[in-house]
Homo-oligomer: A and B are copies of this chain.
Amino acid sequence: MASIKDVAAEAGVSVATVSRVLNDHPSVSEDARTRVLAAVQTLGYRPNAVARSLRTDQTRTLGLVISDVLNPYFTELARSVEEEARALGYSVIIGNADERPDLQDHHVRTLLDRRIDGLLVSPTDGGSPGMLDAARAGTPMVFVDRWIAGVDVPVVRADGRAAVRDLVAHLHGLGHRRLAIIAGPAATTTGSERVEAFREALAEYGIPLPDVYIGQGDFQAESGRRVTEGFLDLPEPPEVVFAADNLMALGALDAIRARGLRVPEDIALAAFDDIPWFVHTDPPITAIAQPTGELGRAAVRALIDRIEGRPPRSVTLPAHLVVRRSCGEPAPLPHSPVTNRSKS
């Protein structure tokens, strides 16, 4: 691979001059510029980003540590992050934590070792040691979607409270009174906040949220299945299951279907996070949609502000309810009346 020395030799100038034309430095003669450019052409020269980074102490790279690449929500987030970063002249390296704190830590460390300029993270838990260290060490950092309290890092996220309230109103209007939730890990903000929002919304209707109706999931499909089975085994199973993310909703559907039950006739289902497939599931699933693309872009802007010395701002955007048929409305076709469980 040709190096800057080769280009300098080919163009008959010093490496300093080559570097200057490559970096658009103003004081370069027109003659030198054209000769360097020609040499770059003939040699097919591309600057070594590793060397440049070592010298300038910046990589123009952002790290993004997400909780689960297999979750369409994060994959969409990742896409918008990369897009905005690219538009602003940065690359992004994604680390997938798979909802595992140890893996999250692995990626944070690796990313920091590579000297990324800043870190975007959606923490998997209360904060793995490596992440906390990074935050304390002053690494430019922004939390997206999930965040950690007590750490001085800007947060870009969606507020689902109003949407959850709308959801509960919708469910209440349909006559549902026994509502359960499949929660995410309590150590994660989206895990606990969604439960709290749900509890508060229920309280407005005088409906309690008993512990047996709070299933502990981990945002992955398998946990949705397990928790739902537990709900269905209850002496008084819930009429509605609200999954705190789309993957656990998938697991819930698996469990419900395995029992030969139907949605929404036997049990209603709603999910946090909307995905294109929810339109085509049987039945279409009522969900709370986040402005995912906006979140990703805002997070990148905040992080780059921080990196480039401008004051970063936290951003909170509203989520909204998308009503479909999985909770019982609008009066689904009354097919296959034989069910073994009925609403209260």
Q: Quick check: which of A71-79, A158-166, A204-212 contacts chain B, the rest being far away? A: A71-79
Q: Which residues of B contact A54 (CB under 8 A)?
A: 48, 50-51, 54
Cβ-defined contact, B44 with A133, below 8 A = yes
Known: A72-B72, A115-B50. A257 touches B280 (CB 8 A): yes
A103 shortest CB reach to chain B, Å: 9
Q: Is A82 an interface residue (CB 8 A)?
A: yes
Oligomer copy total: 2
Per-residue interface assignment for chain A, residues 274 to 286, with 1 indicating a CB less than 8 Å from any chain B CB and 0 otherwise: 0011011111000
Q: Is A14 an interface residue (CB 8 A)?
A: no
How many A residues have CB within 8 A of the partner chain?
49
Q: Which residue of B lies closest to A278 (CB)?
A: B277
Cβ-defined contact, A96 with B79, below 8 A = yes
Cα–Cα distance between A1 and B281 once the two chains are bound (Å)? 51
The residue among A51, A254, A277, A283 with the most chain B CB atoms within 10 A of its own CB is: A277
Q: Is A315 an interface residue (CB 8 A)?
A: no
Q: Which residues of B contact A114 (CB under 8 A)?
A: 49-50, 91
Known: A79-B70, A279-B254. A336 touches B336 (CB 8 A): no
Cα–Cα distance between A109 and B91 once the two chains are bound (Å)? 12
Cβ-defined contact, A221 with B115, below 8 A = no
Q: Is A113 an interface residue (CB 8 A)?
A: yes
Known: A253-B280, A282-B283, A333-B336. A50 touches B59 (CB 8 A): yes
Per-residue interface assignment for chain A, residues 214 to 234, with 1 indicating a CB less than 8 Å from any chain B CB and 0 otherwise: 000000010000000000000
Q: Which residues of B contact A76 (CB under 8 A)?
A: 70
Known: A70-B75, A279-B254, A281-B281. A50 touches B53 (CB 8 A): yes
Q: Which residues of B contact A283 (CB under 8 A)?
A: 282
Q: Which residues of B contact A51 (CB under 8 A)?
A: 54
Q: Which residues of B contact A106 (CB under 8 A)?
A: 86
Known: A69-B75, A96-B82, A282-B283. A276 touches B221 (CB 8 A): yes
Known: A44-B133, A49-B114, A79-B70. A281 touches B276 (CB 8 A): no
Cα–Cα distance between A59 and B115 once the two chains are bound (Å)? 13
Cα–Cα distance between A250 and B136 once the two chains are bound (Å)? 45
A35 shortest CB reach to chain B, Å: 23
Q: Is A93 an interface residue (CB 8 A)?
A: yes
Q: Which residues of B contact A113 (CB under 8 A)?
A: 46-49
Q: Which residues of B contact A280 (CB under 8 A)?
A: 250, 253-254, 257, 277, 281-282
Residues 148-202 (chain A) with a chain B CB within 8 angstroms: none
Cα–Cα distance between A86 and B86 once the two chains are bound (Å)? 26
Q: Is A261 an interface residue (CB 8 A)?
A: no
A-B pairs with the 8 shortest C-beta distances? A282-B282, A49-B113, A277-B277, A280-B281, A49-B114, A253-B280, A50-B53, A50-B54
For this complex, 23 residue pairs linking A to B, each with C-beta atoms less than 8 Å apart, are A44-B133, A46-B109, A48-B54, A48-B115, A49-B113, A50-B53, A50-B114, A51-B54, A69-B75, A69-B79, A70-B72, A70-B79, A79-B98, A86-B106, A91-B114, A94-B94, A250-B277, A254-B280, A257-B279, A277-B281, A281-B282, A282-B282, A335-B335
